[in-house]
Amino acid sequence: MTTRLSIRSVLLVMCGVLLGLAADRVGYPGALFPAVAAQQGRAAAPPPTLESLAADVAQLKAITPSNSHIMMDVQFHWTNLWFAAQKKDWEFAQYQFNEMRGHIIWLTRKSPIIRAQDGTDVDIKSIFDGVDTSSLADVKAAIEKKDSVRFAATYKTMIESCYSCHKAVGRPYLRPMIPTAPAMTAINLDPKATWPE
């Protein structure tokens, strides 16, 4: 009986192998596994060359936002932060703070050194690292403590830090101030708002 089972098992395995080979020859797995067939049918991408890498880098540089574009995002979130804190919407204030800080970090990764208008190179990453652990950290602490008075004072100090950086890169005409109008009107800054739900 065990000999019959062994022969039957070998025959079944052989039949399976033969059926598999036949199905492969006529394209049957493509119908059964279309995603695999699509990957196998796709021509393999050629390996990168120095020329193609240079072209890819040039393309990425061409679509990378300018520093002024990134700083407009910083201004947007910084303005929203002021009005969120005025309304004591501390959760939204924290969100705006995080977004603003994240955009400055993005800028310092993109352009850690900026050419000033007088032609000198300015290490803005180092400037931001110092601000991040001093006046910006104070703004964060005021938000976390939900302290409106402290927030207003630290916000003003941070504006002075921003202006110092603007002057360092030769742009003293970029003089920040306390915002006078919200940057957006489509978000309700009232933390007690009941609509929409």
Give the pair of three-digit tokens for residue 189.
């800054």
**Mean pLDDT computed over 22-51:** 64
Q: Which pLDDT band, with edges at 50, 70 and 90, does 173 fall under?
A: very high
3-state secondary structure 32-48: HCHHHHHHHHCCCCCCC
Helix (H, G, I), strand (E, B) or coil at 177: coil
Q: In the prediction, which pLDDT does 45 show?
A: 78
Percent of the chain with pLDDT over 90: 68
Angle, vertex CA 194, rays to CA 188 and CA 195, nearest 5: 65
Is a pLDDT exceeding 70 seen at residue 178?
A: yes
Between CA 139 and CA 191 the distance in angstroms is 20
- pLDDT-derived band at 154 (thresholds 50, 70, 90) equals very high
Query: The tokens 């030769």 sit on which residue?
Result: 170
pLDDT tops 70 at residue 38 = no
Is residue 190 scored above 70 in pLDDT?
yes
Q: What is the pTM of this model?
A: 0.73
Which of 48-57, 71-80, 106-115, 156-165 is predicted with the least confidence, judged by mean pLDDT? 48-57
Q: What is the pLDDT of residue 47?
A: 87
